[in-house]
Structure formats: structure tokens, C-alpha cells
Amino acid sequence: MEVKKYEEVHFVDSTRAVWNYSFFTEDDIRNFQHGTHYRLYDLFGSHEIEVLGKKGYYFAVWAPNATAVSVIGNFNDWNPTSHPLFVRLDKSGIWEGFIPNLPKGEVYKYHIDGFKGVKTDKGDPYANFWEKRPNTASITWNLDYTWKDAGWMDTRGHHNSLEAPCSIYEVHLASWMRPDKHDEESYNTYDQIRDLMVPYVKEMGFTHVEFMPVMEHPFDGSWGYQGTGYFAPTSRFGDPQSFMELVNAFHEAGIGVILDWVPSHFPYDAHGLFMFDGANTYEYADMRKGFHPDWNSYVFNYKRGEVKSFLISSARFWFDKFHIDGIRVDAVSSMLKLNYSRTHGQWEPNEYGGDGNIEAITFIKDLNETMYRDFHDIQSIAEEATDWPGVSRPTFQGGLGFGMKWMMGWMHDTLDYFKMDPIYRRHYQNKFSFSMMYYYDENFLLPLSHDEVVHGKSPMIFKMPGDEWQKFANLRTLYTYMFTHPGGKLLFMGNEFGDTNEWNYKSELQWDLLKFDSHRMLKDCVRDLNLLLRNEPAMYENQFNIYGFEWVDLNHTAECVVAYRRKGKNPENDLLIILNLTPVVRHDWKVYTHGKSQWREVFNSDDKRYWGTGNVFNPEISTRSLDKNDNMYEINVHLPPLGAIVLK
């Protein structure tokens, strides 16, 4: 059934500065209020249209506690009386109208006469483009763009599958590289980032990039995690079309794009969502739920249908309009728990007496069901740090519906282990092996993220014990362990070449370190681990099920030698990984395993190409049959110091 335009059904009074006009149907309003409208970006905000032969922009904003709302900008000298919007008579709290002759690129805000006479000037919550900070107005724009990534979009279900290799390069766009590393105000544009980063990520062999929040945000020091523009890529680097070009270029290079997305909290900036119309419109009114003590920010009211519709529409927007391949949902733990970072008296139990935020749990489940229903070939990833059950299990099995969950326990235990002087490691092998005890509870992603190289935690290379050679050897072995452990992988930018500074968002990575062999060759090691991951089916085909991993030797605690097997669907592809976690060379080391009689070394972290000694390797590997009935063999190998070898 063809939907008639508003002006074909209603009289439009074209004598006023703002014409009466509406995009909304009764169904839209009902779904918006019930928290089940997930395409609000097509209705709210500013939209370029033509009415009665006049081009201009239609505006719609939700301000349920307002007594008047007008559009202000340079075009009317910021006069709050000249362009008033019409309030809908259905008590939906929506204000709307069409302003003729308003061009693309105009700055604007909503002037709101709000609750108890409070007057505020707010940016558009649904704007697609904002002024570059410190300016705070929204900009009339469109999202016209001709995509050229059909090849990727048609086949991305294969690349984003849980049975495909997943190695994510986590990036903060501003500080990856700058025109002037000493000037925090100097930014590469999206176009420059595209020309520099796409070939680098491709050469390094990562399967995906993950951008720390690109959604518009006022304060650089929040790294994007306190946002004001849930429907706009930041203008720091250019316009929305330039960001589309960046995503498109990654897709044409065969690389997926994941965005960090923050539905947990928002800042109190005057132009943002806080007290939007003089009352708690987007946030809980009860500050035991509505204020976030850790981040001095405000928590979305997940109980309110209009807010739930807003948030799920935001997530859907990035998949729909920007072709992204996944979202990594930040701070899920803080949403799930009413007592997160709160002590006795600072929180109130739910209606059943528990500490779960019931409406937030419902929101998360609806979010994931909607994303996977509408975009079946994407991934939704949870950054969640508690033992909440079933985070990455389908909702029909009682889970939260994410595709993957960050494995924080693995990260903590592994870093604790590798920070230790090798002389003490014999006493802590359980730190090393414990991850597989609970590994099958979730679809886990192994993160060595930005959180591990800030706030005095030290860069990766200086977490490692020993002299310079040992630090690099330890780090290469840690990365080999990470890449050969089941699950997805995530490495923060700079970790791949051993940045010697903590991450500083005001500067850039220490690219000049690549003139030193140790750093350049570490980067080559990470590249080859990525290629190993992509080229060896045993590394990914069964990465989330019990058939993909087997401990081969955990019995040499005193020597700190560990062996395990990675298994694909075809036993011929099995890999044997042996880690020697002390600086002692071990010649003629015996490993006992069943199945294959012939093995060859396909990776050695001590290779000269990676700044290793290159002295201990296995050009030929002798095996001896021990039990023909059980198909058991003794494998004889040489193990490099603080090294890892992979056999096939």
C-alpha cells in the first residue's frame, strides 16, 4: 500500500516561518512509546525534503516536558521566537515542523522552554553531523553515498562467522597517527586515515578493526566513551560521507569494521541529553539508578519505551547506514547490576529483591535479538567483566544474546603470569591453565586492549620481566600463546610493535621505534601470527566448542613447559603448540601425543626474523611409535628459551 505524503492528506499552512508537517503515523508513535521502534533515525532529527515545491528541512524532536520548542541557528540570528515547532496533539511529546529554504550545512539547536520554566538550548539527539568541538551545534546534512562494497557485504557472513578467524586491531582514530604528534589539536582526516591505516591493517593480517567510539563527543579525554551524538560520526576528522569512505575502503580490502558503542551512560554537557527538557527525560530520575559514580555521568532510563527505542535505533543506524560489521557494547556489567560501584544504601533492590537491573536486561536482549534478526551476518560483542551467566548465549536459551564476550579473566591471569620472573612461574602454572576450566561457558574474545596500557599499568613490553632481549622474547611468546589459544583475539594499537610509552590520547603511537630491529621484528612476528591464524583451520574452525582444544602436557610444572593441541574439522590440520616459559634451552624434549606420526615446525617465536636467537629450531622432527593400537607417538623437539613453537 502506497503511503501518501502528509501534504496530500492534510492542509499545509505555507504562510508561516515553520510549516505544519509530520513523518509520523499512529503505529510509529505507539512503537516509539512501547520501546519497539528501531528506525527512529528515519523520523527524528533534521531531514532534507521538498514540500509544495519548496526544498528545506523537516525537524522532529522528543521533549515531553516542554511547553514550547523552536529551531535556532545562524539563519535566524539564534532567535527563539522566530521558528517555533508544532507539538503533536497525541501527547507523545514530539515537536515537529518544516522550515522551507533552509540549506544543507546550517548549524542549529533546539531552544526548549522546559519543565518549571527552565530554558535550554540543546543539540539534536538524532543529528547526523555536529560542529567540531568546542562548538556544540548540530548541522543540517544528508547521508547520501554510493557504496562500492557489495562484494564484501554479500560474503561478510563468512568473515564474521564464529567459525572464521577473528583478529581485531583496536584503534583510537585521533592518536593512531597525527600530522603533528606534539599538537593534540592536529588530526588526520578520515580520508588521510583511510590512506594510511587500511594498507597497514591489511599488511598486518588483522581480520577486523575496532574503533573506540567515533560517535560525536565533547571531551577528548573521555576517548569517546561519553557521547552526545548517537547518530553522528565525530566531525573531528570530517563529514559522515568521509567516514563512509573509510568503512568502504576497509571492506574493499577484505577487513571488517567494529564500532565501540556506549548505551550505558552519557555526560552532563549542557548541549547533550542530560535534563533535556528541564526534567529527567533520557536518564532515571532516581539518582540511585540514574547517576554513575565511576564516570560522573548519567544512566539511561531503560524502563522508558522512548529511550529504549532511541538506543536500539542508534545501534541499528550504524549497521543500516554505515555498513558496520559489529558493535562492541561498552560497560555491560554496569548496566546489568543495580549495585555496580555502589555500596549499601546507594542502591535499591529490584522487585524480586535482587541486584539485577531487570529493564536493562530486557533492553540488552531486545537489542541483540533485533540486530541479529535484521543483520544476521554481524557480531555483537560484550565488554562484561563479571560472572553473569550466558552473556554470549542466545536469548531463547536464557542468555543475553551477544555473539562474543571479552575474556577478562584470561587477560588478568595471563598478564599476572607473564609479569613474573620465570624463576617463580613453576608455582603458578594454574594461572596459565585456568582459562580452559571455564572457557566453554561463553564465546570468548581474548583482549589485550587500551585498558591495559593506561593509568600507570605500563606498556606491554615493560610488563615483561628480564633484560631487553628477555622482554621481547617473553612478549613474542605471550602473543603466540594468545593467538594459539581458542577464541577471538583483540590487540590494541601499538602493542603490535612494543610501544614503550603508555598510550597517550593527546599524541600518537611511537612509530619512530620501527627503526629498531627489536620493534620492527616484533611487528613482523604479530603479522605472521595473524597469517598463521588465517591460514590454519585448526586455529578457528572449532574455536568456540569442545572439539578445538586439548591439553597435551601440563605435567612439567618445574620446567615451565606446556603443550596443547588445536584441532580443526580435519585431523590432518591439527597443530601442536609447545611453550617454553623459562630462559633455558631444552634440547631433545619429549612430547607424547596420539594421531599423527609426522610433524614439521611452521612457527618459531625465537626465529631470527623476529629478533630471536635463531639458534634453536627444528628442521626435522623425529617421532617414535609407542603404541600402535592407541596410535601414540613420542615427538622429539628442541625448545628455544622463552619461546613458542607451532608444529603441523
Looking at residue 432, what is its pLDDT? 85
Instruction: Say what the pTM is.
Output: 0.96
Helix ranges (DSSP H) in 495-586: 517-535
Rounded-to-integer distance, Cα 375 and Cα 364, Å: 16
Residue 539 in contact with residue 484, Cβ under 8 Å?
A: yes
Residue 300 has what DSSP assignment? B
Residue type for 159, please?
H
Q: How many CB atoms lie within 10 A of CB 461?
A: 22
Mean pLDDT for 428-455 is 92
Rama region for 387: left / alpha / beta (φ>0; ψ in -120 to 50; rest): alpha
Q: Which three cell numbers stand for residue 445?
A: 574474545
In 10-128, which residue ranges form alpha helices assigned H by DSSP?
Answer: 26-34
Q: How far apart are CA 216 and CA 575, in angstroms?
A: 45
Cell representation of residue 250: 576497509
Report pLDDT for 457. Answer: 92
**pLDDT above 90 for 607:** yes
Determine the average pLDDT of the residues in 586-608: 94
Q: Which alpha helices (H) appear in 205-296, and where do they start and end? A: 240-252, 287-290
- What is the four-CA torsion angle of 539, 543, 546, 548, rounded to 10 degrees? -10
Cα separation of 282 and 290, whole Å? Answer: 10
Residues 226-250 pLDDT 10s: 999 999 999 999 999 999 999 999 9
Per-residue pLDDT of 250-278, as tens digits, reads 999 999 999 999 999 999 999 999 999 99
Is residue 611's pLDDT more than 80? yes
Do the beta carbons of residue 462 and residue 508 sit within 8 Å?
A: no
- CA dihedral 533→537→540→543, nearest 10 degrees, is -130
Do residues 356 and 24 touch, judged by C-beta distance below 8 A? no
Give the integer Cα–Cα distance in Å for 293 and 140. Answer: 35
The phi, psi pair for 302, rounded to 5°, reads: -70, -15
Q: What is the pLDDT of residue 1?
A: 67
Secondary structure (3-state) at 320: helix
| pLDDT tens by residue, 150-183 | 999 999 999 999 999 999 999 999 999 999 999 9
Strand partners, 55: 50
| One-letter identity of residue 523 | K
pLDDT of residue 64: 98
Helix, strand, or coil here: 648? coil
Q: Which of 406-415, 428-437, 572-581 has the lowest mean pLDDT?
A: 428-437
Contact call for residues 227 and 213 (beta carbons, < 8 A): yes
238 Ramachandran zone, left/alpha/beta (phi>0; psi -120 to 50): left
Residue 631 has pLDDT above 90, yes or no: no
Residue among 40, 96, 37 nearest 305 (CA): 37
Tell me which of 383, 384, 528, 541 is the catalytic residue: 383
CA gap 499, 390 in Å, rounded: 36
Model confidence at 4: pLDDT above 90:
no
> What percent of the chain is modeled with pLDDT above 90?
94
Give yes or no for residue 312 having a pLDDT over 90.
yes
Q: How far apart are CA 264 and CA 28, in angstroms?
A: 25
- Is residue 3 predicted with pLDDT exceeding 80? no
Q: Is 330 a catalytic residue?
A: yes
Q: What is the mean pLDDT of the chain?
A: 96
Q: Which of 85, 144, 88 is nearest to 109 (CA)?
A: 85
Q: Which three cell numbers stand for residue 67?
A: 511547553
Residue 626 has pLDDT above 90, yes or no: no
Residues 40 and 609: their CA atoms lie apart, in Å, by 53
Q: Which amino acid is at 354?
A: G
- CA torsion, points 636, 639, 645, 647, in degrees to nearest 10? -10
Among 420, 519, 514, smallest CA distance to 464 is for 420
What is residue 46's predicted lDDT score, i.e. its pLDDT?
A: 98
Helix (H, G, I), strand (E, B) or coil at 40: helix
What is the 8-class DSSP label of residue 221?
Answer: G
Q: How far is CA 270 from CA 120, 225, 267, 283, 381, in A?
A: 8, 17, 9, 14, 31
Residue 424's CB is within 10 A of a number of other CB atoms, namely 11
Is-catalytic flag, 306?
no
Q: So what's the pLDDT on residue 275?
A: 96
- C-alpha cell of 623? 617421532
Residue-level pLDDT at 630 = 84
Helix (H, G, I), strand (E, B) or coil at 197: helix
Tell me the three-class secondary structure of 372-403, residue by residue: HHHCCCCEEEECCCCCCCCCCCCHHHCCCCCC
Q: Is the pLDDT of residue 377 over 90?
A: yes
How does pLDDT run across 534-557, given as a tens digit for each residue? 999 999 999 999 999 999 999 999
pLDDT at 639 over 80: yes
Q: What is the mean pLDDT of residues 204-222?
A: 96
CB atoms within 10 A of CB 24: 18
Q: From CA 5, how far away is CA 619, in angstroms rounded?
A: 74
Structural domains in the chain, sorted by start:
6-140 (2.60.40.10), 149-539 (3.20.20.80), 549-647 (2.60.40.1180)
> What is the widest separation between alpha-carbon atoms in the chain?
95
Closest listed residue to residue 92, CA positions, set 123, 122, 65: 65
Q: How many whole angstroms separate alpha carbon 522 and alpha carbon 476?
A: 7
Q: Which of 330, 384, 442, 606 is catalytic?
A: 330
Which 8-state DSSP code applies to residue 634?
E
In this predicted structure, the answer to whether residue 616 has a pLDDT above a threshold of 90 is no
Q: Are the C-beta atoms of 437 and 445 separated by less than 8 Å? A: no
Cell of 548: 578445538
Strand ranges (DSSP E) for 542-631?
549-556, 561-566, 575-580, 586-594, 601-604, 622-627
